[in-house]
């Protein structure tokens, strides 16, 4: 009963607090009005703040994370300098020689095969497939690539498509050295575009232009035709549609999951101890990206060929895509986020975002000073 009926001393102790509360309550409407007015005044800034928070969550998927500096004292700095000399003075020239020799062997073999075996399509495709795999192996060797493959090697069968998470264009090279995939890829300018339109088309690769809406229908038609061919190379798609920094996976596009065929997931995880393999195409050309890899110690990664998946009864292509993304995310130890990777190409520049964040911070500081 004592808990329900406080003693007189407890009531005496509480009386000043009650009187103080009643006194403050008289002025509460005025305070509420002032608080409401301040919130209305600052609402645009709050909107900008929310946008900045969301934007920060999104940009984490597309940011390179530089390693922590370790050459900060007199003992480690000489070792770091020795490493620079070895990487740039010994490894890099040796890798350039390997890459140049590989190109000489490849071109001297590919050109005759491509033009002299026009009437023997089956033999020509087989030899071109072997040569493309060889050239991709040369590229991996030029990075001192250490790649560990897990699971059965992909086979050539109709009505199947392979999907993988995407960190860089080197994903394609690493997968291609084991199996000559026909990949779906954005059309690139420069020497990469030249390779796409000449050499890589020989293995059945399909190109598209992201800015052309009509390309979607054309690509979808080509995809459906490709998966029906018994002799066609396995089809490889990166359903994220853009390079992500190998810490996250963004939304998978549903195109690969509405073809009515078996989907074979591939998980790729890079070890960042020697180099970060993420290609930030907004800040770096692919040529500079390759140079960074060739001047690193090594490119180390694991590739898992996972169990094939099929559309379940009552499951939509979007749900199917999310289920496959979950499988890849878990196997590669990545984090799943709900963003559409294509927003990367339409979002404002970092300078504009930083300016908006600065304006918001200044408005908050002004409010605090007025108080």
Q: What is the mean pLDDT of residues 8-37?
A: 45
Angle at 228 between CA 196 and CA 256, to 5 degrees: 65
What per-residue confidence (pLDDT) applies to 19? Answer: 47
**145-150/248-249 β-pairing:** unpaired
Residue 16 confidence class, pLDDT cut points 50, 70, 90: very low
What per-residue confidence (pLDDT) applies to 310? Answer: 93
Q: What is the mean pLDDT of residues 161-177?
A: 93
Judge whether 370 and 359 are in contact, CB under 8 Å: no
pLDDT in tens, 268-322: 999 988 899 999 888 888 899 999 999 999 999 999 999 999 999 999 999 999 9
Residue by residue, DSSP assigns 165-209 as --S-THHHHHHHTTS--EEEEE---HHHHHHHHHTGGGGT-EEE-
Residue 6 confidence class, pLDDT cut points 50, 70, 90: very low
pLDDT in tens, 253-280: 888 898 888 999 999 999 988 899 999 8
Question: How is residue 1 written in tokens?
Answer: 């009963």
Per domain, the residue ranges of the chain are 8-61+352-370, 63-339
What per-residue confidence (pLDDT) applies to 325? Answer: 95
Highest mean pLDDT among 161-170, 190-199, 223-232: 161-170
Residue of 270, 346, 267, 332 whose CA lies nearest to 301: 270
What per-residue confidence (pLDDT) applies to 162? Answer: 94
Residue 32 confidence class, pLDDT cut points 50, 70, 90: very low
What per-residue confidence (pLDDT) applies to 105? Answer: 94
Q: What is the mean pLDDT of residues 94-109?
A: 94
What per-residue confidence (pLDDT) applies to 68? Answer: 72
Residue 33 confidence class, pLDDT cut points 50, 70, 90: very low
Residue keyed to tokens 């062997």: 105
Question: How is residue 351 written in tokens?
Answer: 């300078």
Q: What is the pTM of this model?
A: 0.74
333 has pLDDT over 90 = yes
Residue of 130, 135, 123, 284 whose CA lies nearest to 195: 135
pLDDT in tens, 236-256: 999 998 889 899 999 998 888
Could you give the CA distance from residue 183 to residue 205 in angstroms, rounded to a whole number?
Answer: 5
């Amino acid at each position: 009963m004592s808990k329900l009926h406080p003693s007189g001393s407890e009531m005496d102790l509480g009386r000043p607090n009650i009187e103080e509360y009643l006194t403050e309550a008289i002025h509460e409407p005025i305070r509420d009005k002032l608080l409401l007015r301040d919130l209305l005044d600052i609402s645009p800034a709050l909107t900008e703040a929310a946008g900045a928070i969301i934007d920060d969550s999104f940009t984490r998927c597309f940011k390179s994370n530089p390693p922590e500096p370790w050459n900060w004292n007199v003992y480690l700095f000489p070792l770091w300098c020795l490493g620079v000399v070895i990487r740039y003075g010994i490894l890099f020239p040796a890798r350039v020689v390997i890459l140049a020799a590989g190109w000489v062997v490849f071109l001297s073999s590919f050109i005759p095969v491509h033009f002299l075996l026009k009437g023997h399509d089956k033999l020509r495709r087989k030899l071109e497939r072997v040569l493309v795999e060889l050239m991709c192996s040369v590229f991996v060797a030029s990075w001192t690539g250490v790649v560990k493959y897990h699971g059965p090697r992909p086979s050539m069968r109709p009505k199947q498509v392979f999907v993988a998470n995407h960190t860089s264009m080197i994903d394609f090279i690493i997968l291609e050295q084991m199996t000559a995939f026909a990949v779906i890829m954005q059309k690139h300018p420069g020497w990469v575009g030249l390779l796409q339109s000449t050499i890589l088309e020989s293995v059945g690769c399909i190109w598209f232009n992201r800015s052309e809406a009509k390309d979607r229908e054309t690509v979808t038609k080509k995809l459906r035709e490709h998966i029906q061919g018994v002799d066609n190379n396995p089809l490889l798609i990166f359903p994220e549609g853009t390079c992500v920094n190998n810490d996250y996976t963004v939304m998978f596009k549903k195109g690969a999951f509405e073809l009515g065929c078996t989907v074979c997931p591939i998980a790729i995880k890079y070890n960042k101890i020697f180099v970060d393999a993420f290609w930030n195409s907004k800040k770096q050309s692919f040529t500079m990206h390759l140079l960074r890899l060739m001047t690193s110690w090594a490119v180390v990664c694991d590739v898992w060929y996972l169990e094939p998946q099929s559309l379940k009864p009552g499951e939509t292509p979007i749900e199917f895509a999310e289920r496959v993304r979950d499988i890849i995310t878990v196997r590669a130890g990545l984090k799943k986020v709900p963003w559409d990777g294509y927003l990367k190409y339409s979002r404002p520049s970092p300078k504009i975002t930083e300016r908006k964040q600065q304006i918001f911070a200044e408005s908050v500081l002004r409010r605090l000073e007025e108080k």
